Structure 1
Amino acid sequence: MKFSFTLLLLLSMQLVFGQSMTYESRILDVSGIPIPGATVTELGTSNVAISDQDGRFRISSSKQNLTLRISFIGFETQDVVINDGVLKKEIKLLESTESLEEFVVTALGVERQRQSLSSAVTTIGARELSDVPQTNLINSLSGQVAGVQITNGSSGVGSSSRIIIRGENSISGNNQALIVIDGVPIINEQITSDLFNDGANIQEVDFGNGAAEINPDDIESITILKGPGSAALYGARAANGVVLITTKKGRKKQGIGVTTSSLLTFDGLLTLPDYQNEYGGGSNGQYSFQNGIGAGVNDGGISSYGPRLNQGLLIAQFDSPSVDINGNPVRAGDVISRRRPDGTFTAITPTPWIARPDNVRDFFRTGVTSQNNIAVTSGNEKGGARIAYSNLRNEGILPNTDLKRDGLALSINQALTEKFRVDLFTNFINSRSDNRPNLGYGYENVMYGFNWTGRNFDISSLRDYWQAGQVGIQHFDFNYLWLTNPYLTLFENTNSFVKNRVLGNLALTYDFTNKLSLRVRTGIDNSSDSRAFRRAFSTNRRVFGGYREDDVRLFEMNSDILLTYSDQFNSDWLYSVSAGANRLDQNINYSYTEANQLALPGIYTIENSRVPLRGSSQIFDKRINSVYAFGNFSYRSVLFIDLTLRNDWSSTLPAENNSFAYYSGGLSYVLSKGLPLPKSISNATVRFNVASVGNDTNPYQLNNTFQFNQNYGSFTRVTNGTVLNNPNLKPERLNSLEAGMAFGLWRDRIQTDIAVFQNTSINQIIGRPISTASGFSNIIENGGEVRTRGLEASVQALMFERGAFSWSLEANFTTYRSVVTELPEGVDQYVTGEASVFRGAGGSNSVFYIARKNGRIGDMYGSGFQEFEGQTIFGSNGLPIQDGRLRLLGNYNPDFFVGLTNQFRYKKLQLGFVFDWRQGGTIVSRTKALGSTSGVLKETLEGRETGVVGQGVMNVGTPENPQYVPNTTVVPASSFYNNFFDRGNEASALYDASYLKLRQLSLYYDLPQQWVNSIGFNYIKVGFVGSNLLLFTENPHFDPELNAMQGRNLTYGVEDMSYPSTRSFGFSIKTEF
C-alpha cells in the first residue's frame, strides 16, 4: 500500500513538472516607458518571444528554474533568473552606454548607427505618434522636433499642413520637405483650382495634401533628415530635407496577434472674433428692414453703426412677422411674396432691437471625430505580415461639413530563402466628403458674412433658407445686395470630392554573400480625385447658380536598384560602399468642365447649362534619371566618414543643362571613446558635414506654346501667355555647411544635441519682370542668392525617478534667418508672391512677398499711411492720408520657436503634454480690417457717441513747408473706422504672430493585468486625450497659427477670414489579444 501510494505521488509530480508554464512580464526603460520589439530568449534553447507595443511578453517553458536573456537595440542586454517559477512583473533595461548600438533609418531606407551620422537626424517613435493621434500625420510633429516648423490651413479636419525644415531656401520654388514612405517618395502636393473665375468670386477649397491621408496608426517611426547632407541621396526633391516614414511590419514570432485602437474626440471653438454687442446693423444710428436692397432705412448696407441695442426699441427686421399679398403669415425677408403689383410691400410688425451676443457662436456645432484601427499580425522565424484597416469619420464644426476616410494597409516581410528576402507594403485609401468649406475673402466663406452681420441679427432665423414659395429659386436673407445666406452656402453650395489612392512599394533583396547584397525596389503613388462644385440659384453674384466637375489624377513611380558591399580593410577600418540608380516618372493630369449658369434650378449636371460650357485640361509630365554612390567608413568605432555622390538628369531642364551632380561629405568623431572625459559624460560626439545639391523646376518652363482661350464667336482663340520661358535654364544649387555636437550625461539621463547650419542657395529660378512691349510681363531666368543661417538644440532628460514614479522631459529650440544676398543684375526686387483680397486685383488690396537685396525671405509689403517721425499724418478732414507706396509690414517667420514635452509615470498611470511656443513674426489680419470697417468688433466702440480723433499729426502748413501739429479733428466713428481699416491699408491690421499653445495632453491608464488576462486580452489601455486646449496670444480675434490659402498654397503671414480654430478632447482605448 505504501509502495503504491509513493509510486502514485511520484507519477503525479512528474506530470506536474512536465507541464509547460507560461511566464509573463513587462519590459520598460528606466523612466517606465514600454519597450516594444525586445527579444526574450530562454538560454540554452531556441525558445524566443517578442514584447508587444506595451512592452509585455509571454514565454512558455517546462522549467521552473531558468534564465531569460532580454535584449533590444540601444539598451544593455540583461539576464533575468527565474527561480521556482517566479518572474518579477516588470523588467527595466538600462540604456546602453555604447550609444552606437542605437540605429536609425536614413536615406534610401538604410539603417545606420546614430553616432556614425555626420548630420542631424531626429526620430519620433510610435508612442509619440499614438498618444494623441492626429488626423493629419504631419501635425503630430508640431513642437516635437528641433528645426521643423508646421503650419496649418483653417478648414479643420482634413486641412493641408506645410512642413518646413530649417527655413526657406528658394525665392520662388517649393520649400517643403520631401515625404518618403519605406524609402520611396510620395506626392504631397495639393492640386486645386479657382472656382468660377469671376474676379471677387474666386474662393479656395482646401482638399488636403498627400501626407494628411497617411494613417498614423500604421506608422512605426518618423525620421527627419534635416540637412542636404543627410538627404542628398534623394536628389533634387530633397534639397529642403526629408521626412522618412517607416511603416509597421509583422513580427518574427509565432501565432497571430490582434491590436485595436479607438479614439472619439469632440471639437469646440478655441477662438472667435471679439465682437461688440452694443450697436446693431445700420448706419448713422438708423435701420429699418423693408426688402434688403435699400427700400428700407439703410437695409441695403451691411455696416453695424445702427441704433443702440437693448434700449427697448422695436424695429422692423428681416425675421420680423409680416404677411404676403394674400394675407398669409410670412417673414419680412420673404420679400417676393410681400411685393405688391405696384412695387410696394406689405407691412412689417417691428420686433425688439436686442443684442444677440452668441449669434455667431451658436451657428457652429460641436465637431465629432472618430478614428478606429484594427491590425492583425502573424509571423514565423523567417518573417511576418500585418494587415490593418482604419476608418475616420468627422463632422466639422460648420454645419453640413464632413470628412470620411477608409484605409487598408498590407505589409509583408519574408525571407524566402537564406539569401532572398521580399518586403511589400501597400496601402489603399478612400477619402470623401459631401462638403468642404470655402476659404478666403468673399461671400462663399461664412466668416466673411459674419463680419458684415449686425449684432442684432438672429442667425438661427436663416436656417429655413428659401423664401416662401421660392424653394430652389430665391434664398432668404437680411441683405440681398452683398451676402448669401450662410445655411444656403453650406447646404446647397457644396464642394464634394471622392478620392481613391493606392501607394506602396515592393523590394527584393538578395544576399550574394554576407558582404555583398543587391536590392531592387519599385514604389508607386497613384490617385484619382473627382470633385463637384454646386452653386444654387440666387447665390450672390450668381443668379443662375452653376456647376463644375474637376478631375485630378496624380501618378508617380520610383524605381531603384542598389548594390552594397561591406567589409574591412583591417581590424581598425570597416567600410560599406553602395552604388545604385533611380528613375522617377511623375504625371499630373488636371481637367475641369463648368456650366457657368444652370438652365433649371436644383439640377446639378453639366448638361443642365444655359450657356456654352467652359473647360480646360492640363497635363504635366516629368522624369528624372539618376545614378548615385555612397560610402561609410569607420575607424575603431571612433571616427566615421560619410561620402555621397549623385547625378540627376531632369526632363524639366534643357539638354545642355539637364545634368547636375550632388555631393556630400561628413565626419563624426566619438569624443567619449577617443579622449579621456569626466565620468559624468557618458557619451559625446562631434560632427561636421558639407553638401552641395541641385534643384530643378516645374515642367514646361523652357519654350513658349500657345494656350487656348475662350472662343470669339465660332472662332477658336489662342494666346501666347504672359511669361517668356527660357531654354537656357540651369538648375538651382544649394550649398550647405553643418556642425553639431551630441553628448549624454550621467549614463545618458540627460542627452543634448546642438547644431549650427548655413545653407546658401544660388542660381535661383525666378520670374523677372520685363517690359510689356515685349508681349510678355515676366521672363523665367536664373539669378539670386539666399543664405540661411540657424541654430537648433534639443535636450532629453530623466528629471526624476523614485520607486514607481518618473518624470522625463524633452525640449527643443530653433532659430534661423534667411537673407537674400544677391538678385539678378539690374533687378532691385523680386515679387515672390501676392495675397490679395480679390485674386488678381493687385494694387492696394494686396500683401506682396518681395525679395530685396539684404532683405529676408518672408518680408511682406503693403500699403499704409503717410507718416511724420513715426506718427500717422491726418488730413484736414480728420482722416488718414494714404502714401501710395509699398512699405515693409513685417516678416512672417518667427524669431524662434520652442517645443516642450513632459511625461509623468506612476505605476500604471501615464500623463503627458506638449507645449508649442512661437515667438515673433507678423501676421496681417483681414478679420481685423473687415470687422473694424463694418463695426462688429469690440474695438470699434470707442467714439461711437462722441466721434474719434485719430492719434497722429496734421499739416497746418503747406506741402512745400509743412508744419505738423497734433491732430484734433473729430470724425464720426463709422467714417474713421471705414477709412483707417480700409482693405487698401494693410498696415492698419497687423498683429504679432507669437503664441503659446498647449498642443497635446494625454492621460492613460493600463488596466490591471490579471483582470485583462482573465477576459482574454494581453493588455487594455484607456485614456483621455486633448489637442490645442489652451492658446495664449495678444491677438483677440483668431488663431495666429492658421494661414490663408490662395491657389494650391497656404499663404503665410496673412489671415483671411479664417474659421475658428478648435480645441479637441476625447477618449481613447487600445487593446491587444
Structure 2
Amino acid sequence: MKKTNKLVLSILMLLFMQFIVAQSISITGTVTDDFGETIPGVTVQIKNTAKGAVTDFSGKYTLQANLNEGSNILVFRSIGYSTKEIPFNYESQSEIVIDVVMEADILGLDEVVITGVGALTAKKQIGNVISSVSGLDVAESASLDVTGALSGKLAGIQVSQNSGDPAGGISVRLRSASTVNGSSDPLYIIDGVIVNNNSTNVLGVTGVVQNRLSDINPQDIDRIEVIKGAAAAAIYGSRASNGVVQIFTKKGKTGEPVITLSTSLNFNSLRKKRDFNEEPFDWASSDITDLTKVPVTRYDYQDMVFQNSVGTDNYVSIAGGMEKTNYFASLSYLQNEGIMKGTDFERIGGRIRINQDINDWASASIGTYFSTSNSNDTPSGGYGFGILPTILFADNKIDPSKDAEGNYPNLTFYPNILEYIETFEFQQKNNRMISDLQLNLNPVEGLSVNYTLGYDSAESTGTTYVPIGTNTVALGSASTSTITTKQVNSDLNASFITDISDKFESTTTAGFSWQSDDTEVRAISATGLALGVKTTDGAATISTNENRSQRTFWGGFVQQTFGFDNKLFVTGALRLDGSSVFGADERNQFYPKASMSYLLSQEDFWQNSLGSIFDSFKIRAAWGQAGNLTAIGPFDRLSNYGAVSIDGSSGLISPTQLGNPDLKPERQTELEFGLDLSLFKNRLGIELTYYSQDIEDLLLARTLSPSTGAGSRIENIGTMKNKGFEALLTATPVQSGDFTWSVTGTFSTNENEVNNIEGEQFSIGNFGFSVAKNGQPLGVFYQGYYARNDDGSLLLTPGGLPQREKGSYDSNGNPIPERDASGQPSGANLSKVIGDPNPDFIASLINEVTFKNFSFRMQLDAVQGVDVLSWDTRMYYRFGGGPQTASELRGESVRGTGAAKFGIAESYIEDGSYVKLRELSASYLLKDPLKGIDNVKFTLTGRNLLSFDNFSSYDPEVNMDGQSNGSRGGVMGLTPIPRVIKIGLTATF
C-alpha cells in the first residue's frame, strides 16, 4: 500500500513539475510559395502534439501553445506543396516568428491523407493509390451533387448522371463492377461517419430516382480523398471492397471570426433537341404497300414539355476559434427548377462543428448536419409511363391541347403529355441528419487513440396522385411510400509510431469497428379514388406493404508498417470482418493485405545519375483481399415463406427460392503495381497504375430440380475478373509570379469478364436484354441481330425490308444462320451479344490558367467505346413521330422499314461514345475591396455545355436503370442532362 502511495505521489510530482516548466508561447509567421505569393489554408502544427493552426487568406498564422524549454519542430502541410519541418528552440520567449517558403509538390507525395486509422500518413508511404480533390474544385464545378463534382477529376473513376431531373441520381464506379447481384458503389464516409447513399425509389419511377448524397451541400466540403480497390477494405472493412470516398468538411480555426457569404444563379436549358417527324403528310392506309399520302399538321411536342429554367444557391458560413476551441457553422438554401416543366428541387441545410482541446494530449470534436428537401417530379422514363415515353409512342399529328370542354385528347395508350404536367402530382420529401462525436488522445509521444461515433438518419417520402380519367388508370390512383434508414458506426483505432533506430521507423495500428443499419419501408397505394380526393382515403381498392430489416457489421484489423531511411516502406495487415446477413459458420472471414512503397529517387546512386531529370521516382505495389458483405439482403440466406390471406384466414405459402445457411461473402483478390514520378523541377508529374482483380464465390441463383419444390437457391458459384490501367498526368508548363498554366489529364481502361454462371447466362435488366454471360463483360446486350449476306450487307426480304437472323445453335451455344431454298433466313430466331455498355476507356483533360487575380478553367470528359441500347430509337421506328417515318414518307426508305427494325435489337444499338465540355469557368478575385471585406470573388461557370457524340437521342450518359450495378446503357424517355450556366459571387469578411 505504501509503495502504491509513493508511486501515485511521484506521478503527481512529475505532472506538477511539467506544469511548472511548460510555458505559454505565441508562434506567428507568414507562409509563401516560390514566387513570394502567400498560401492560405496551410496546416501548421507542433510535431507530435495536437497544437496547430491554419494560415488565413493572407498566408499568416498564429499558434498558441504551452511548451517545454528545448528543441521543438514546427510542421507545415498543404495540398500541392512539399511538407516542411522547421526546428526551433524555446527558451522562455513569449513570441517566436517563423516565416516559411514552401515548394511545389506536383505529385502530392508529401500530402498527408487519412487512411482510416485516425492517423496522418504521407502519400509517399502508401503502396496503393489515394487521390484527392479540393473542396474548391467541388464547390466551383456547378454540380448540385457532391458525387457529380468528381467527374473527370481522378483517374479510374467513372461518374454518370443517370437523369437530368433536378436531383437525378448519379452512379459512381471506382474501376469497375465487382459483383453481379450486389452494389458496386464505393463506401461513402463523411467526417468518419459511414453514410447512406442509397437510391430511394419512393415514386415507383426509375427515371426520377435520387441518391442520398444529393442531401449534402458541396460548399461545405474541405476535401475529398478516394481509395480504390482492396487496399481500402484492409482498413475500412469489406464494405469498402468497391473503394472508399472520404469526404472531409470544413472546420474552424483559431482567430477572429471569418464569415463567408456566397450566392449564385443557375440558368438551365435543353442542350439538344432530337430529330422528329416534321413531314406534313401521313399514310392514307395502314397497308404498307399503299403509298398514298394525306396532309396533316405535325407538332413539336418537345417545345411543349421542356423549358428554360432558373435556380439559386445561397450559402453563409462562420468560422473562428480561441486557443482551445474552434467552431464552424453554415446555412444553405438551394432552389432549382428542372428543364422538364413541372419539376423542381429545393434543399435547406445546416452544419455545425466544434473542436475542443481538453488538454495537451486530448481533444474532442462534435458535429452535426441536417437537411430537408422537397421536389416536384413528373413521371418520365424507365419501365413505365411518362412524358417522354408518351412522345416516343405517339404519332405527333395530334394537338395535345385541351378541347373546349377541358378534355385532353388521346395521343396514345399513355396519358396526354400536358395532362401529366398540369394534373399529375408526384412529390418527394427528404429529411436527413448526420452527426458524429470524436475523441482524439495522444497520452504519450507517438501514440494516438481515436474514437468515432457516427449516426446517419435519412427518411424519404414519395406521394403520387393520378387523376380520374387518364388512359393508364381510368379510376385514378394515389400512393404514399416512405423509406427510413438509420445507420450507426462505432470505430476505435490506435496508432503507435516509434523510431527503432536513426533510420528505421515503425508504425503499428489496430482498430475495431461495429456498424448497424435499420431500414423500414412503408407503403400504401390505392385505385378507384373518390371524386375530388387526392389521397388513398376512401379509395375502392387499397393495398399496403411494410418491410423492416436490420443488418450489423463488425470487424477488426492489425497493421504494421516499417520505414527505412524515409524512402522504403513495407506494410502488412490482417483484418477480420463479419456480417449478420450470412450464416453463423461463414459470417466471419479473414482478409490479408501487403504493400510496398520505395522512393528510388532518394538513393544516392539515383541522385548522382538521374537526379537532374527526375525530381522524384517512386515504385509501389499492393496486394489485398476483401469480401462483399452487401451482395445479399438480411434474410436471403433463409427460406422465406410468404404470408397470404385465404378466405379471410391468414396463412403461409412455400417460397420459390430455398434458403442456404452456408452462404459466405464474395471474395475479391487484387494486385496493384504503380509508378509515381516527377520531372523538370516538379513541372511534370506522372502517376501510372496497373491492377488485376479476381472475384470468386459470386452469390448467384442456381436453378433447382422441380422435385425440390422450389425454383432456385442462392449459392457461391460465379467468378469475375477485372484488369485495367490508370494514368494521371499533372503539368505546369508555365509558372511565373503573375501567370500560371496547369494541365491535368486522366486515362483509364478496364476489362471485365464474368464466368462460371450456371446455364451460361441470365438476364439482369433492360427488359431482359442486359445479361450476365460467361466469357463476357457484365451487362452485355444479348438479343436478335440482322440477317446478312456473305459480304456483310443486309439480307433483305423480297419487299426490300431488313429482317432478323434465323437458324439454330451449335453444342457450344453459338448461333448458326440457316437459309431456305430461296436464300432467305429459316429456322428459329437467333440471338447473340450485340453490344457492350462498358467503355473501352474514359479520359479527361483539365486546363487551368491564372493571371494575377483572373482565373480560367476548362474540363473535357471523354467516354469512348461504349454501346447504348436506345429504346428511344426503337419506339420512333414504329409509332410515327420519329425521323424513320419521315424518311419513309419522303421515299428515302421503303415503307415498313421502321416496323421491321422495331423487331431487330441490333438496329437500335448505338455508339454511346462522347466527349463533353463538362466545365468551363472564369473568375476574378478582388482583394480588400472595402473596409471589413477581405475579398470578393466573381465566377461565371458553364456545365455540360457541349457534347461531341453521334447519339441520335438527347444524351448517351443517362441510364434507365438508375444506379443498377449490372444493367447499364439503356435509354428510354429519360429527362436529358441540362446545360447549366452559373453566375456566382463569394465574399469573405
TM-score (norm 2): 0.86
Tell me which protein shows more strand as a share of its residues. 2
Paired residue for 1:397, among 330, 333, 339? Answer: 339
Deviation, 1:468, is 5.2
Paired residue for 1:732, among 642, 650, 666? Answer: 666
Instruction: Give the match for residue 392 of structure 2.
Output: 451
Counterparts of 1:510 and 1:389, CA distance in 2: 31
Deviation, 1:432, is 1.2
Deviation, 1:857, is 2.0
Deviation, 1:177, is 0.9
SS class of match (1:137): coil
Paired residue for 1:410, among 340, 345, 352? Answer: 352
Structure 1 residues 695-733: Cα deviation after superposition (integer angstroms, max 9, x where no partner): 233211111121234x45534464333322211112211
Alpha carbons of structure 1 residues 112 and 26: separation in structure 2 relative to 1, 3 Å: closer
SS class of match (2:206): coil
Counterparts of 1:665 and 1:1022, CA distance in 2: 48
Deviation, 1:517, is 2.8
Counterparts of 2:636 and 2:38, CA distance in 1: 53
- One-letter amino acid matched to 1:635: F
Report if the CA contact (8 A) 1:441-1:448 is conserved: no
Paired residue for 2:952, among 1033, 1036, 1046? Answer: 1036
Kindly report which structure 2 residues correspond to 1:577-592, keeping only aligned pairs within 5 A, or say none.
Answer: 577-592=508-523
Structure 1 residues 474-523: Cα deviation after superposition (integer angstroms, max 9, x where no partner): x41244x6131222213322221221111121111222212223222110
- One-letter amino acid matched to 1:680: I
Paired residue for 2:408, among 476, 479, 484? Answer: 476
Q: Say whether 1:378 aligns with 2:387.
A: no
Report if the CA contact (8 A) 1:534-1:604 is conserved: yes
Structure 1 residues 718-765: Cα deviation after superposition (integer angstroms, max 9, x where no partner): 433332221111221100100101011122111110000001001111
Counterparts of 1:565 and 1:857, CA distance in 2: 43
Q: Say whether 1:686 aligns with 2:619.
A: yes
Paired residue for 1:673, among 588, 596, 602? Answer: 602
Counterparts of 2:472 and 2:125, CA distance in 1: 63
Kindly report which structure 2 residues correspond to 1:508-519, keeping only aligned pairs within 5 A, or say none.
Answer: 508-519=439-450
Identity across the alignment (%): 23
Instruction: Give the match for residue 279 of structure 2.
Output: 278
Counterparts of 1:671 and 1:179, CA distance in 2: 34
- One-letter amino acid matched to 2:906: A
Deviation, 1:359, is 4.1
Counterparts of 1:788 and 1:530, CA distance in 2: 38
Report if the CA contact (8 A) 1:99-1:683 is conserved: no
- One-letter amino acid matched to 2:923: Y
Deviation, 1:680, is 2.2
Instruction: Give the match for residue 37 of structure 1.
Output: 42
SS class of match (2:199): coil
Deviation, 1:59, is 8.5
Kindly report which structure 2 residues correspond to 1:263-662, keeping only aligned pairs within 5 A, or say none.
Answer: 263-280=264-281, 283-284=283-284, 353-356=296-299, 358-442=300-384, 444-459=385-400, 462=401, 465=402, 475-479=407-411, 482-598=413-529, 600-611=530-541, 613-662=542-591
Deviation, 1:1049, is 6.7
Alpha carbons of structure 1 residues 570 and 1045: separation in structure 2 relative to 1, 3 Å: same
SS class of match (1:764): strand
Kindly report which structure 2 residues correspond to 1:973-1012, keeping only aligned pairs within 5 A, or say none.
Answer: 973=895, 975-982=896-903, 985-1007=904-926, 1009-1010=927-928, 1012=929
Paired residue for 1:243, among 234, 242, 245? Answer: 245
Kindly report which structure 2 residues correspond to 1:98-177, keeping only aligned pairs within 5 A, or say none.
Answer: 101-177=110-186
Counterparts of 2:862 and 2:598, CA distance in 1: 33
Deviation, 1:91, is 10
Report if the CA contact (8 A) 1:165-1:226 is conserved: yes
- One-letter amino acid matched to 1:250: G
Alpha carbons of structure 1 residues 993 and 913: separation in structure 2 relative to 1, 3 Å: same
SS class of match (1:95): coil
- Unpaired runs of 5+ in structure 2? 1-27, 64-73, 87-98, 807-828
SS class of match (1:101): coil
SS class of match (1:256): strand
Instruction: Give the match for residue 636 of structure 2.
Output: 701
- One-letter amino acid matched to 1:284: A
Instruction: Give the match for residue 823 of structure 1.
Output: 756
- One-letter amino acid matched to 1:671: L
Counterparts of 2:801 and 2:134, CA distance in 1: 58
SS class of match (1:980): helix
Structure 1 residues 205-254: Cα deviation after superposition (integer angstroms, max 9, x where no partner): 53411222211111111111012123321112111111111111111x22
Paired residue for 1:855, among 735, 751, 776? Answer: 776
Report if the CA contact (8 A) 2:916-2:946 is conserved: yes
Alpha carbons of structure 1 residues 550 and 100: separation in structure 2 relative to 1, 3 Å: closer
Deviation, 1:395, is 1.1
Instruction: Give the match for residue 715 of structure 2.
Output: 781
Deviation, 1:437, is 3.8
Counterparts of 1:285 and 1:229, CA distance in 2: 66
**Larger displacement relative to structure 2 (1049-1058 or 667-676):** 1049-1058
Deviation, 1:617, is 0.9
SS class of match (2:284): coil
Paired residue for 1:229, among 224, 231, 240? Answer: 231
Instruction: Give the match for residue 199 of structure 1.
Output: none
Report if the CA contact (8 A) 2:200-2:460 is conserved: no
Alpha carbons of structure 1 residues 232 and 70: separation in structure 2 relative to 1, 3 Å: closer
Instruction: Give the match for residue 897 of structure 1.
Output: 842
Alpha carbons of structure 1 residues 29 and 218: separation in structure 2 relative to 1, 3 Å: farther
- One-letter amino acid matched to 2:922: L
Deviation, 1:360, is 1.4
Counterparts of 2:493 and 2:148, CA distance in 1: 33
Structure 1 residues 266-306: Cα deviation after superposition (integer angstroms, max 9, x where no partner): 111112221131145x54379xxxxxxxxxxx9xx9xx999
Counterparts of 1:190 and 1:695, CA distance in 2: 19
Counterparts of 1:130 and 1:650, CA distance in 2: 37
SS class of match (1:589): strand
- Unpaired runs of 5+ in structure 1? 1-22, 42-46, 61-68, 80-89, 196-202, 287-297, 310-352, 837-845, 950-972
Kindly report which structure 2 residues correspond to 1:208-219, keeping only aligned pairs within 5 A, or say none.
Answer: 208-219=210-221
Q: Which runs of 4+ in 1 moved over 6 A?
A: 23-26, 1046-1050
Counterparts of 1:142 and 1:97, CA distance in 2: 21
Report if the CA contact (8 A) 2:764-2:779 is conserved: no
Alpha carbons of structure 1 residues 749 and 381: separation in structure 2 relative to 1, 3 Å: farther
Kindly report which structure 2 residues correspond to 1:789-938, keeping only aligned pairs within 5 A, or say none.
Answer: 789-820=723-754, 822-823=755-756, 827-831=758-762, 833-836=764-767, 846-852=768-774, 854-869=775-790, 870-882=792-804, 883=806, 884-938=829-883
Q: Say whether 1:750 aligns with 2:712.
A: no
Counterparts of 1:991 and 1:37, CA distance in 2: 49
User: What is the number of residues matched between the two proteins?
Assistant: 903
Task: Give the greater-gyration-radius structure (CA).
Answer: 1
SS class of match (1:988): helix
Report if the CA contact (8 A) 2:30-2:38 is conserved: no
Counterparts of 2:76 and 2:921, CA distance in 1: 29
Deviation, 1:109, is 4.4
Alpha carbons of structure 1 residues 108 and 615: separation in structure 2 relative to 1, 3 Å: farther
Alpha carbons of structure 1 residues 106 and 31: separation in structure 2 relative to 1, 3 Å: farther
SS class of match (2:185): coil
Counterparts of 1:425 and 1:596, CA distance in 2: 45
Deviation, 1:919, is 0.8
Alpha carbons of structure 1 residues 557 and 629: separation in structure 2 relative to 1, 3 Å: same
Counterparts of 1:143 and 1:891, CA distance in 2: 22
Deviation, 1:93, is 4.3
Deviation, 1:819, is 1.5
Report if the CA contact (8 A) 1:789-1:818 is conserved: yes
Alpha carbons of structure 1 residues 362 and 548: separation in structure 2 relative to 1, 3 Å: closer
SS class of match (2:419): helix
Counterparts of 1:580 and 1:617, CA distance in 2: 37
